[in-house]
Structure 1
Amino acid sequence: MVLRGRLVLGLHTLMTLLSLQEVGAIKADHMGSYGPAFYQSYDGAGQFTYDFDGEQLFSVDLKKREAVWRLPEFGNFAYFDPQSGLVSIAMIKAHLEDLVKRSNGTRAPNVSPRVAVLPKSRVQLGEPNVLICIVDKIFPPVINITWLRNGHPVTQGVTQSSFYAQPDHLFRKFHYLTFVPLADDFYDCKVEHWGLDQPLFQHWGTEPPPRYPPQTCASFTLNPFAGPPDPPFLSQSPRCPPRCLTPQGLWSVPSAWSLA
C-alpha cells in the first residue's frame, strides 16, 4: 500500500497530579499525564494515551473505540472509560482546520524510521517463539508494517502495539509475529513510511538466494560483548532485497539480546 495524503497532528498534555509551573519546591514521587493525543486527517485515525512516570499505561484507538492496556494485567487493577479519550480526540478533530490555518498549511518534516528485528526468547528450532519488529523514530505516526516469510506475506499470528510517544516527540511501534523457527525459513519486517523513498526490509533468518537487484535495506550487527545492537544502517547490496541480510544467521542470536 502506498502512503499518500495529508497529516496534521494535534498534541496536548494534561498533567493530572501536578502542574510543573505551579509545583515550586514541591517534589512528586510519581507523575501521571493525559497525552499525547492526536487526530490525523489521513485515514481518519486518532489515538489518546495515558502515561505514568513517562511510560504508557493504555491507549484509546479511534477506530477500535476501546481502551487497550499496554500490558493486559494493568486492566485488572484499574478501569478507564474509553469515552473520555474519544471526547479528547473529537476536540482535536474539531480544531484541526484552525491549526492548519495558523501554520499556513506548513507540514512537519517526515522522519525516516529505524527498524530492528529480535526474537522474544532464545531461538531453538521447532520451538514456538515470537519475532518482534521494533520501529523507532516514527513521524508522522502513519506507517505500514508487514511480515514476510520466505518472501510471502504473513497475516496469521500477527499483532501490534499502539504508537508509543517518545521524549523527542517521535513515536515507536512494535509488531509481533508468532512463529516456529525452521532451519531453511527466513523472515522480513517490511516498513513503508513517508520518510522512506522506498519500502525498507529488515531481514531475520537464513540467507535467501542472491537473485534480486540492489535496493535500500537495513541491517545491524550483533556483538555478544558490546550490549544491544546499534540502530540499523542503510546499505546497498545486490544480495539482500527484497530481504536485508545480517552479517551472520540470526538463528544463533545470543540469549542476552532476546526480549522478555
Structure 2
Amino acid sequence: MNLSLLVLIIFTGAVHTSATSLSHNFHYTYGCYESGGVRVDVLLDDDVGGYADFSKGEVVWAMPHPSQYVKNFTKHAYEIAQAANAHCHSVLSKAKKADPDAPMRQESPSTFIYTRYEGEDGVFNTLFCLANYFYPPTINFTWTKNGVEVTEGVSNLRYHHNSDGTFHRISALTFTPREGDVFTCTVEHQASPQPLTRSWELEMKRSRATPAAVFLCVSLVFCLIGIGAGTYFFTKQPN
C-alpha cells in the first residue's frame, strides 16, 4: 500500500494552569495519507499526551493521570484536530500537483529486543520489540516461539514521532519463559530490503565455580595438607 505522509508542526503555544501555577506547552503534529486518513497527535511539553480519534469524535489522552485542566482542554483540542484534518488534505493536494513525480522518502528501521524484567524460568514476563527511526509509518511485527508464529499476548503500541521526522513503534509479547524456548520478533518495512529479525532466549544462571577454579581449590587444599604434615613430622624427629 502506497502511503505518503506529510507531517506539519503547527499551533505552538504556552497555556497557563491556575491550579498549579505552571505553564505547559501544547503542540500539535498532524499528517495525512494519500489513502485519506489523517493522524493528529497532541504533544504536552514535548511528550505525546493524546491523539484525535475521528471515529469517536474526541481526543483520547494517552497519559496515565491527566490533570483536570487537560481534561477541560479536550473539546478545544478536538476542534483544532478537525481544523488540522481539513488543512492537511488541502496542503497534500497542492504538494502533489506541484511535484507529482517526487520520490517518497524512505528510512529503514533499526530494531532491538528486550524484556521488562530479568528473565527467570517459569516467571511471567514481557518481551518488547522496538523498531526505530523509520519512515513512512507503516510497519509490521511478527512474533514466533520456537519457529511457530505467536499471536496470543501480542499488542502493538501506537506510532510515535521522533524529532528528526521519523517514527518509532513497539510491539509487546506477554509470555512465561522456559529453558530452551527461543522467541523471535521479525520486523517488515518497505525501506528494508529484507525482514529484520531479533531473537531472545532465557539465559540460565550457571555456577560461578568453573572446573578450573574447583581444580585450583582442591590442589591448594592438598598442598596445605602436605605442608602441614611435613611440618608436623619434622618437628617430631628426635634430636
Q: How many residues align?
A: 195
C-alpha offsets along residues 88-119 of structure 1, whole Å, 9 cap, x if unaligned? 23431344222212233313331110000110
Correspondent of 2:126 among 123, 126, 130: 130
Structure of higher RCO (CA pairs closer than 8 Å, 6+ residues apart)? 1
Correspondent of 1:53 among 45, 48, 51: 45
1:173 maps to 169
Greater helix content: 2
Q: In angstroms, what is the RMSD of aligned CA positions? A: 2.8
- The letter for the 2-side match of 1:89 is N
Q: Residues 1-260 of structure 1: matches in 2 within 5 Å? A: 4-17=1-14, 30-35=24-29, 37-42=30-35, 44-61=36-53, 67-74=59-66, 78-79=70-71, 80-81=74-75, 83-84=78-79, 85-205=81-201, 249=203
Structure 1: stretches of 5+ with no match in the other structure = 19-27, 207-248, 253-260
- The letter for the 2-side match of 1:39 is C
Q: Relative to structure 1, is the Cα distance of residues 132 and 71 closer, same or farther in structure 2, using a 3 angstrom cutoff?
A: farther
Q: Relative to structure 1, is the Cα distance of residues 77 and 192 closer, same or farther in structure 2, using a 3 angstrom cutoff?
A: farther
**1:55: how far off?**
1.3
Report which of the two structures shows the higher radius of gyration computed on alpha carbons: 2
Name the TM-score, length of structure 2 as normaliser: 0.70
Q: Secondary structure at the match of 2:70?
A: coil
Greater strand content: 2
Q: Which moved more, 1:54-63 or 1:188-197?
A: 54-63
**1:17: how far off?**
1.7
**1:49: how far off?**
0.6
User: Is the Cα–Cα contact under 8 Å of residues 10 and 96 in structure 1 kept in the other structure?
Assistant: no
Identity %: 25
Work out the CA distance in 1 between the residues paired with 2:50 and 2:44: 10
Q: Secondary structure at the match of 2:66?
A: helix
User: Is the Cα–Cα contact under 8 Å of residues 141 and 171 in structure 1 kept in the other structure?
Assistant: yes
